[in-house]
Amino acid sequence: MYTIKELQNEINTYIADIKLVHPPVELYNPIDYIMSMGGKRVRPVLMLLAYNLYKENLAEVLPPAAGVEIFHNYTLLHDDLMDKADMRRGKKTVHLVWNDNAAILSGDVMFVIANQYIAKTPIPYLKEILDLFNTTAVEVCEGQQYDVDFEKRSDVAATEYLEMIRLKTAVLLACGLKMGAILGDASPKDAQLLYDFGIHLGLAFQLKDDYLDVYGDSQVFGKNIGGDILCNKKTYMLIKALEEANEQQRAELNQWLNAVSYNPQEKIRSVTALYEQIGVKNICEAKMQEYYSKAIEFLDEVSVSDNNKNELRKLVHELMYREI
């Protein structure tokens, strides 16, 4: 069995060897920029780990694994533009280094390149893999649309938010895991268990991301802390705060949500203090633990030896208790 570090090295080496820049360079430089930021490569590593539960020939799965990672970075590029984010992995976002048009067009090309690498899947598996990937790509866009819609609403329920992050974040992790299982000739039952494992892992992962946006360290996290608070993003934490707040706390929260002119740091401090008073931190931590525990239950049912699942368990633990 390969270790997480070995698989990260394999996918990083493969991606680094892809020649992303050629004329017109203004189209391809932003792609090279965002791909060179690195990151944890969680999605392709999950795919490779799932594959490695059954097979060891990584060469046949590195191209579609790279396709999954390129697609993920394409979504980040467009997401940063739509959110007007200024930092990604500790660096300026593409639309700030270049411009909005570059972020849109380079992102479009990334989606095409991602499909080209998914299409390098061995022929016997190609249709099933393409169908799964394209279904997932549509779901990710659906999740993004819900996220945009929520910006204009003040009545978003926690269940709606959780469905949004299932689509926007969790399905791609689940897709990678199921792709790895399919390519490894896993049974349909195991492939579905790994998909369900990925869904619950993805939900916990995104809740952790929301949590770190409030309670993380910007130097470690790679993004400015409090960004979700400043743009009134309908996160699980804000939704639960509005649900659980008393009348006075809700009034103060709404005052900040409706404020047009304010000191950014003061808003972050005040809203974070309200979260503390209301107990949102504990509520979010409990929900993360619920999804984490459910994910492990699905993984436990996968019909390979527990010893072979150790690296998957290790990665899940690292994602749950990460500071970035």
Give the model's pLDDT for residue 227.
85
What are the residues facing 91 on neighbouring strands? 88
Tens of pLDDT along 16-56? 999 999 999 999 999 999 999 988 899 999 999 999 999 99
Whether the CB-CB separation of 125 and 183 falls below 8 Å is answered with: yes
Strand extents, DSSP E, 74-130: 87-88, 91-92
pLDDT along the chain (324 residues), means of 10: 96 96 96 92 98 97 98 96 86 96 97 98 98 98 96 93 98 98 98 98 96 79 76 94 97 96 96 97 97 97 97 94 76
Give the model's pLDDT for residue 219.
58
Give the model's pLDDT for residue 313.
96
* CA–CA gap between residue 245 and residue 259 (Å, rounded): 19
What are the residues facing 88 on neighbouring strands? 91
Domains of the chain with bracketed CATH: 4-320 (1.10.600.10)
Give the model's pLDDT for residue 216.
83
Give the model's pLDDT for residue 154.
87
pTM: 0.94
* CA–CA gap between residue 207 and residue 254 (Å, rounded): 22
The Cα angle at residue 124 between residues 118 and 128, in degrees rounded to 5:
55
**Residue labelled with tokens 């390129």:** 70
Structure tokens at 31: 């792609």
